Structure 1
Amino acid sequence: MSAADPAILYPQHVTELQIRATEALARGGFDHLLVPSGTLHYQVFDDRDYPYAVNPQFKAWLPLVRNPGSWLVFTPGHKPKLIYLQPFDYWHVVPEAPSGWWVEHFEIAIIRTPAEAAQHLPTAVERCAILGEPQSALGGFVPNNPPAVVNYLEYHRAFKTPYEFAMMREATRIGVRAHRAAEAGFRAGLSEFDIHLAYCAAARQDANDLPYRNIVALNEHGAVLHYTELATQAPGDVRSFLIDAGASFGGYASDITRTYAHDTGGEFQALIDAVDGAQRRMCDQVRPGTDYRRIHLDAHLALAGILHDFGISRLSPEATVETGVSSVFFPHGIGHGIGLQVHDVAGFAQSDRGGTIPKPDGHPYLRTTRVLEPGMVVTIEPGIYFVDLLLDGLKRGEYAGAVDWDRIAAFRPYGGIRIEDDVACTEAAPLNLTRDGFAETA
């Protein structure tokens, strides 16, 4: 992304947010929108704070992610106001004065203590929709998170502006660069911990900057869906590598998963290739009017076909799905919305007035049920895993004979496979941010 892009794209983004906020306030019967950036939380019986995480409602407006104690104020018909905390502090680095391509779009008031924000907030607190955590309360300004306002804003956050696409593209480029470094570390025989460090170094981001904890899993660890232990010693026999890791830029996230085989000519590599091919076809389903639940259910059928082709399932693909055997090997959802948050909000929203679109029966872990529309960005992340807990349940159940246990034993030491891309729905063909990012650095 060129340095000029944010300055060009940001004005339209801020205008769109003002349009949305105006409607949201009207629906809730409020005059002002107040969004605290959030505060530091301290550990009980200690004086250490937890890592700060900015309020996503705040960073939707501003590319600021390390500024606790600040506020965004919007009143329809008026320029948005940023109340910016720049404390007197010799214990920590003090945020620099606001500068850059975004400042001209805000009235800015600099404060030196969090309490000073009150003098810059509207006087009629009862007329304010305040979006934030309880810890962000300031005097009488207590976050009330009115459902009519939150429902509207979160529902429409699914539709990304051109500025947001630019932020997500850059987050993807950073993530891809780091993924390539991680694969090189795997090929060089590094431990999970050292691969993680190589990833962070390539991304130039540490654990507090990354959008979520890196999943760096060698061999059997790939069967743990959210494996984050990071063994410090490399295994003696390196067979496989699953990495699920993203990057951040301007408050936006990327979410990328790849799986590698040490033996690129072996059967596990062939299984990876089969999942990768099916995943590409699933990504092509990200089109206007497609029910995201349909992609999830179709994924089960496609993966059941792979299980049958590799001699793991003895049933037809249809029977593998109908009996629930496919869920033993693919036990999570096909993906989720992504943007300001890795698991972005309103995935089940029936409309911008609320309501819930149910998940398909028997699929409790699906995180999105909406019909796709242009501007939405979702992840597509099918997988095949060999999870001891789930396999043991299958072996004790009525469908124990539906699979070839010798084939399962052969694949168990490799853990599992997951391939994940971030895909944008457009008026035409899907836009695969992740594949485009890898292509740029091929």
Structure 2
Amino acid sequence: MSHDPAVLYPAHLAELQRRTHEALERAGFDHLVVPSGSLHYQVFDDRDYPYAVNPQFKAWLPLTRNPGSWLVVTPGRKPKLIYLQPFDYWHVVPQAPSGYWVEHYDIVVIRTPDEAAAHLPADPARCAILGEPQSALGAYVPNNPAEAIAYLEFHRAYKTPYEVQMMRAATRRGVRAHRAAEAAFRDGRSEFDIHLAYCAAARQDAGELPYNNIVALNQNGAVLHYTELEREAPAQLRSFLIDAGASHHGYACDITRTYAADAGSEFQALIDAVDAAQLKMCDQVRAGNDYKRIHLDAHLALSGILKDFGVIKVTPETALETGVSNVFFPHGIGHGIGLQVHDVAGFAASDRGGSIAKPEGQPYLRLTRELAPGMAVTIEPGVYFIDLLLDGLKQGPHADSVDWARIDRFRPYGGIRIEDDVVCTEAAPINLTRDGFAEAA
């Protein structure tokens, strides 16, 4: 199979047009109209927030820094791009459209945002307009019809070969940055310095990354979304957890790794055990498998590891049933990924709506669908020593399920998370992350 985006893009575009035709029929509209989004300004100030392109827009076009532009899709016609290229000497003006995708669009260049209205369909009432309220232009106000969005978002879970290639390119960038971050950790750098090393290697600043980097040393690894970035390195380096991604043409990678400062330590052995279990979980990303089952199996596997290391005293099944496993693994096994880090329609029962419930006692799982070819998900088991949750366990009826001395041994290390991006296929899964690290090595 070709990995050339120019070769893969026409089939991707044809699939989007097919989905759009069905979505418009279901919602009763003639045109799909998608604004790229607009700049938002801070209250009582003239500073804008970092611009984030409308995901419905970047699904079609590898354009992520073009506020004020519009896409119009009418079944049976060539898609139209209304491309804002303003007269502006305060900022860098977007270059003229170029690249492998240009020939597939009728492109109209406008110089002010208001000029777009003249190139949109004549009757706004016949348009499914997908976007945020701030993107409104006169009578063209986003209406976000539920039937259209339900269909488009449900099928966005199934990545085209073009999209897989975009994610693979994002992964290469993310892997390069992860390797630089590990080197900075080994060099004794602070969280802030490691973050800067990551951005430099990714060649992306914080606003271009798909989410805020989690760069956690020692006990900070016990904070699931730790983004404080301490400026000074701790006196003693014990552990390093980094959850950080990169972007390519609007697609994200999401990678997490954990390291011990001492390769011969018991904490490194715990990391190795979680890593081996995570690889088995990645192999479960196969057509027909229920993602909820992968999540519950992860609880059993991680509880088995904790029992092997003397942290818990009960069986994995008892740990799951009593909620003890949730103390050490308090989040979901993963989520969909693609145009958004936590991609949409994770609970969708069908392309007409409805939702699939989470397993009882597992409130933080972000995906409950059955896996099918083309779906891209993360697999990110974790083991943490979180004071708040441990204190709750200690005060509850299952306090004797654990060895508190063993827990105190691991508390200073914070926690472990290993995360890969995995694509379901007709056969064996594609582990984009492991492929990326193998290629870099």
- TM value normalised by structure 2: 0.99
1:346-425 matches, within 5 Å, as 346-425=345-424
SS of equivalent residue, structure 1 residue 255 = strand
Instruction: Spell out the pairing of 1:8-27 with structure 2 (5 A cutoff).
Output: 8-27=7-26
Secondary structure of the 1:247 match is: strand
> What RMSD, in angstroms, separates the aligned Cα atoms of the two structures?
0.9
CA offsets 1:151-182 (integer angstroms, 9 cap, x no match): 00000001111110110000000000000000
CA distance in structure 2 between the partners assigned to 1:408 and 1:42 by the alignment: 47
2:226 is equivalent to residue 209 of structure 1: no
1:320-359 mapped onto 2 (5 Å cutoff): 320-359=319-358
Task: Report Cα offsets for 1:18-67 as digits up to 9, x if no partner.
Answer: 01101100000100000000000011111111000000000000000000
Which residue is 1:71 aligned to?
70
> C-alpha displacement at 1:427, in angstroms?
0.3
SS at match of 2:377: strand
1:101 Cα offset (Å): 1.0
* Paired letter, 1:357: I
Q: Corresponding residue for 1:262? A: 261
SS in 2 for 1:154: helix
Question: Residue 180 of structure 1 aligns to which amino acid in structure 2?
Answer: R
Counterpart for residue 90 of structure 2: 91
3-state SS of paired residue (1:254):
strand
Matching of residue 108 in structure 1 with residue 120 in structure 2 = no
Task: Give secondary structure in 2 for the equivalent of 1:167.
Answer: helix
2:190 alignment counterpart: 191
Q: Distance in 2 between matches of 1:323 and 1:165?
A: 39
Paired residue type of 2:311: I
Question: Within 2, Cα distance between the matches of 1:198 and 1:91?
Answer: 30
Q: Aligned residue for 1:38?
A: 37
> Runs of 4 or more off by more than 4 Å in structure 1?
none
Amino acid at match of 1:411: F
User: Does structure 1 residue 319 correspond to structure 2 residue 330?
Assistant: no
**Distance in 1, Cα, partners of 2:51 & 2:105:** 24
Once residues 109 and 402 of structure 1 are traced to their aligned partners in structure 2, the CA distance between those partners, rounded to angstroms, is: 66
Matches of 1:121 and 1:309 in 2, distance apart?
64
d(CA) in 2 for partners of 1:319, 1:7: 53
Paired residues for 1:305-316 under 5 Å: 305-316=304-315
Residue number in structure 1 paired with 2:218: 219
Partner of 1:167: 166
Q: Deviations over 1:279-321 (max 9, x none)?
A: 0000000000000000000000001101100000011111111
Distance in 2 separating the partners of 1:163 and 1:319: 44
Equivalent position amino acid for 2:254 in 1: D
> Per-residue displacement from partner, 1:72-125 (whole Å, max 9, x unpaired)?
000000000000000011110000010111100000000011000000000111
Q: How does 1:214-293 map to 2 (within 5 A)?
A: 214-293=213-292
Q: Shift in Å at residue 358 of structure 1?
A: 0.5
Amino acid at match of 1:176: V
Deviations 1:255-275 (A, max 9, x none): 000000000011000000000
Identical amino acids, percent of aligned pairs: 78
Structure 1 counterpart SS, 2:48: coil
Whole-Å separation in 2 of the counterparts to 1:323 and 1:15: 50
- Within 1, Cα distance between the matches of 2:407 and 2:98? 58
Q: Which residue of 2 aligns with 1:119?
A: 118
Q: Distance in 1 between matches of 2:323 and 2:309?
A: 18
* Alpha-carbon separation, structure 1, partners of 2:315 and 2:162: 46
C-alpha distance in structure 1 between counterparts of 2:63 and 2:266, whole Å: 47
5+ long unaligned stretches in structure 1: none
Tell me by how many angstroms 1:434 deviates.
0.3
Aligned residue for 1:335, secondary structure, equals coil
> Quick one: distance in 1 between partners of 2:39 and 2:363?
33
- The aligned counterpart of 1:299 is 298
- How much has 1:381 moved relative to structure 2? 0.1
Specify the code of the residue in structure 1 equivalent to 2:30.
D
- Secondary structure class of the residue paired with 1:315: coil
CA distance in 1, matches of 2:85, 2:386: 50
User: By how many angstroms is 1:331 displaced?
Assistant: 0.2
For residues 245 and 235 of structure 1, the distance between their equivalents in structure 2, rounded to whole angstroms, comes to 21
- The secondary structure found in structure 2 opposite 1:246 is strand
**Equivalent position SS for 2:20:** helix
One-letter amino acid matched to 1:208: G
Deviation readout 1:118-157 (Å, 9 max, x if unpaired): 0000011110000000000000000000000000000000
- Matched to 1:181, the amino acid is A
Q: What is the SS of the residue equivalent to 2:167?
A: helix
For 1:118 and 1:188, the matched residues in 2 are separated by 55
> Which residue does the alignment assign to 1:129?
128
CA distance in 2, matches of 1:340, 1:277: 29
